[in-house]
């Protein structure tokens, strides 16, 4: 085996403490556990998986291009198709996925992707259409977009929805561009956007990208927005320089912003608009309508609340619901239904009649159809009552996790009342020398993907666990038992935890060195450093 990776557990090592650890196999692999080389280290490098035409290259259509001709063959691995397939399939078996176990990443809402969604998304009428097809041939697709839009508007109590944004952060930008267009329309040149300390990192980034100066609003000791500080910064009246406020509700401390209506009222009184980061909508879907809280714009991550795959197979989808005040500025194109029932697309040529105040276009087409079909399938298969139960179960599960770890992990806002969809812990109770990272790595040994760590930044050594409604009571109990066991090892000063994971395909990686000196290309010519002895890596 010529793999240069010298750290970590190998199949041949066996589990730590295994009496058979000294037994070796001829291949270096162990049963179905394989040590997979890099693809460049497989094969002789001169093979090819495709039977190309051997008659030689075509003549160049333009002689001036000849200076771009390669002088040497590209250094491709040169594998047969089955060898390449097996390489990636073997690697995939070392990966972790939502189809293998819980993914308790706080703030990410990693929920099961129902297979019914996949079935409808693959119907040829949705899967095999093209955005440039004549409109009359894709009325069914428009109907899906329009129905989904209707559900999103109804669930959020808003006036309109922009369906074209490609992801949450793209949706944030859409919302802020609507806010800017609304200010422009009334001749106000406000330049400041306020963002709470506990905001998602994308919020200030989006505001800056949209041309605003970002100022932060402090939080209170119980983990919510400081309303008094916000009011003081807004100033009294219409001459405020604040264009808007970006708030996440429920927030990243897993808490519902109880003062949301007062916050919205204060922002509106000062002539600003309220953007809500809808990343945590899963906790309140069917229970609370953001429109009733005075929110003017909110993106909805279809891959979170509405169960579509994260990333969407490229791109994702982040529709933005808009209040009556911002709806006229929504981007093109959008689907509308005429009085005769026809659904059609409003594009630039229709804008003077159908959307005269639109801020323009932020995507080539009308949105990510594959995510729309999946999200609508999810919504229709749950119904309004089922969606309400999603929120109830997600919140119940998070509170079950929060309270089940009382006594072993510090919950900084445990006294602020029940949490929403995610349980937040800190490193406060861990003994000297043990960190949040140790808990996360220990969870890998237990066979779970770790929770979100070191976020939100307002909590020291944060651990943010979002179980979602998808986990059964038994599944939650297994996760809790593992988290508790790992935390108890830390509390007992178990030094072996500091070198976790011990049973994963790789031991603890040097994340600092990976960030400082990243190796991003194949270094075939570089001699690997000498392998540390087994006792050093603790692998025997």
Binding site for another protein (CB under 8 A): 454, 457, 511-512, 515-516
* Residue 423 tokens, joined: 């349980």
| Helix-, strand-, coil-residue percentages of the chain, each rounded to 5 | 35, 10, 55
- Nearer residue to another protein within complex by CB, 193 or 387: 193
Contact assessment for residue 330 and residue 178, using Cβ atoms and an 8 Å cutoff: yes
Q: How far is the CB of 292 from another protein (least distance, A)?
A: 35
CB closer to another protein, 54 vs 512: 512
For residue 420, CA distances in Å to 46, 106, 322, 468 come to 57, 11, 24, 10
Instruction: Say whether 253 sits in a helix, a strand or coil.
Output: coil
Distance CA(540)–CA(535), nearest Å, equals: 6
Nearer to another protein, 515 or 519 (CB): 515
The answer to whether residues 522 and 40 touch, using CB atoms and an 8 Å cutoff, is: yes
SS3 34: coil
Cα 133 → chain centroid: 31
Q: Please state the closest distance from residue 520 (CB atom) to another protein, in A.
A: 15
Residues contacting residue 459 through CB under 8 Å, at least 6 positions apart: 253, 412, 424, 426
> Which C-beta is closer to another protein: that of 512 or that of 521?
512
Q: How far is the CB of 508 from another protein (least distance, A)?
A: 12
- Which residue number, 128 or 511, has a Cβ lying nearer to another protein? 511
Among candidate residues 303, 40, 329, the one with its CA nearest the CA of residue 178: 329
- Shortest Cβ 115–another protein spacing (Å): 38
Nearer to another protein, 144 or 440 (CB): 440
Q: Rounded to the nearest whole angstrom, what is the least distance from the CB of residue 201 to another protein in the complex? A: 8
Helical (H) or strand (E) element with 158: none
Which lies closer to another protein via its Cβ, residue 324 or residue 457? Answer: 457
Q: How far is the CB of 213 from another protein (least distance, A)?
A: 10
CB of 488 to another protein, least distance (A): 24
Residues 6+ apart with CB under 8 A from 184: none
Q: Which is nearer to another protein, 312 or 412 (CB)?
A: 412
Compute the least distance from the CB of residue 513 to another protein, in Å.
Answer: 9
CA angle 245, 251, 254 (to 5 degrees): 175
**Shortest Å, Cβ 210 to another protein:** 17
Q: How far is the CB of 177 from another protein (least distance, A)?
A: 23
CA distance 160 to 322: 5
Residue number with CB closer to another protein (85 or 457):
457
Q: Which is nearer to another protein, 50 or 515 (CB)?
A: 515
In the complex, minimum distance from the CB of residue 329 to another protein, in angstroms, rounded to a whole number? 29
The residue among 32, 22, 28 whose CA lies nearest residue 2 is 28
DSSP sequence for 51-107: ----S-PPPPSSGGGGGGS-SS--------HHHHHHHHHHHHTTS--TTTS---BTT
Rounded Cα–Cα distance for residues 248 and 256 (Å): 9
When the beta carbons of 7 and 188 are compared against another protein, the nearer one is 7
Contacts of 520 (CB under 8 A, 6+ apart): none
**Contacts of 55 by beta carbon, 8 Å cutoff, 6+ apart:** none
C-alpha 233/C-alpha 392 separation (Å) is 35
């Amino acid at each position: 085996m010529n793999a240069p990776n010298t750290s970590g557990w190998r199949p041949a090592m066996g589990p730590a403490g295994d009496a058979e650890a000294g037994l070796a196999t001829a291949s270096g692999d162990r049963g179905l556990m394989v040590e997979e080389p890099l693809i460049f280290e497989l094969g002789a490098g001169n093979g090819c998986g495709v039977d190309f035409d051997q008659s030689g290259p075509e003549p160049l259509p333009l002689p001036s291009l000849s200076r771009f001709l390669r002088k040497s063959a590209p250094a491709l691995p040169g594998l047969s198709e089955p060898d390449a397939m097996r390489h990636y399939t073997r690697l995939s078996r070392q990966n972790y996925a939502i189809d293998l176990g819980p993914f308790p990443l706080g703030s990410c809402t990693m929920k099961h992707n129902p297979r019914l969604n996949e079935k409808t998304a693959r119907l040829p009428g949705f899967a095999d259409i093209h955005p440039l097809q004549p409109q009359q041939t894709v009325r069914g697709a428009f109907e899906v977009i329009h129905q989904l839009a209707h559900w999103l508007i109804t669930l959020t109590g808003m006036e309109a929805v922009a369906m074209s944004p490609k992801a949450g952060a793209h949706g944030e930008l859409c919302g802020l561009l609507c806010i800017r267009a609304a200010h422009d329309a009334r001749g106000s040149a406000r330049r400041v956007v306020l963002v709470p300390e506990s905001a998602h990192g994308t919020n200030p980034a989006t505001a800056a990208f949209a041309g605003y100066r970002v100022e932060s609003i402090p939080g209170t000791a119980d983990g919510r927005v400081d309303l008094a500080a916000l009011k003081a910064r807004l100033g009294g009246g219409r001459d405020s320089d604040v264009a808007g406020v970006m708030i996440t509700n429920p927030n990243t401390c897993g808490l519902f912003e109880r003062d949301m209506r007062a916050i919205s009222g204060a922002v509106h009184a000062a002539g600003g608009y309220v953007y809500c980061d809808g990343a945590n909508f899963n906790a309140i879907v069917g229970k609370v309508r953001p429109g009733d809280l005075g929110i003017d714009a909110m993106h909805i991550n279809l891959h979170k609340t509405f169960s579509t795959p994260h990333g969407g197979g490229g791109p994702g989808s982040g529709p933005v619901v808009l209040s009556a005040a911002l709806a006229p500025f929504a981007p093109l194109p959008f689907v509308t239904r005429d009085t005769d029932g026809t659904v059609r697309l409003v594009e630039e040529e229709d804008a003077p009649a159908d959307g005269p105040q639109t801020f323009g276009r932020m995507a080539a087409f009308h949105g990510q159809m594959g995510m729309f079909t999946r999200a609508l399938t999810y919504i229709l298969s749950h119904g309004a009552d089922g969606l309400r139960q999603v929120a109830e179960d997600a919140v119940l599960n998070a509170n079950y996790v929060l309270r089940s770890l009382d006594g072993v992990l510090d919950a900084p806002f445990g006294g602020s009342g029940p949490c929403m969809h995610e349980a937040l812990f800190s490193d406060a109770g861990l003994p000297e020398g043990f960190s949040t990272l140790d808990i996360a790595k220990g969870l890998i040994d237990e066979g779970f993907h770790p929770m979100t760590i070191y976020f939100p930044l307002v909590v020291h050594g944060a651990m943010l666990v979002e179980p979602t409604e998808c986990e059964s009571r038994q599944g939650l109990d297994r996760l809790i038992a593992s988290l508790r066991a790992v935390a108890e090892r830390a509390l007992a000063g178990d030094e072996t935890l500091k070198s976790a994971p011990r049973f994963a395909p790789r031991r603890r990686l040097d994340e600092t060195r990976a960030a400082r000196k990243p190796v991003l290309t194949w270094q075939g010519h570089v001699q690997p450093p000498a392998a540390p002895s087994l006792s050093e890596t603790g692998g025997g």
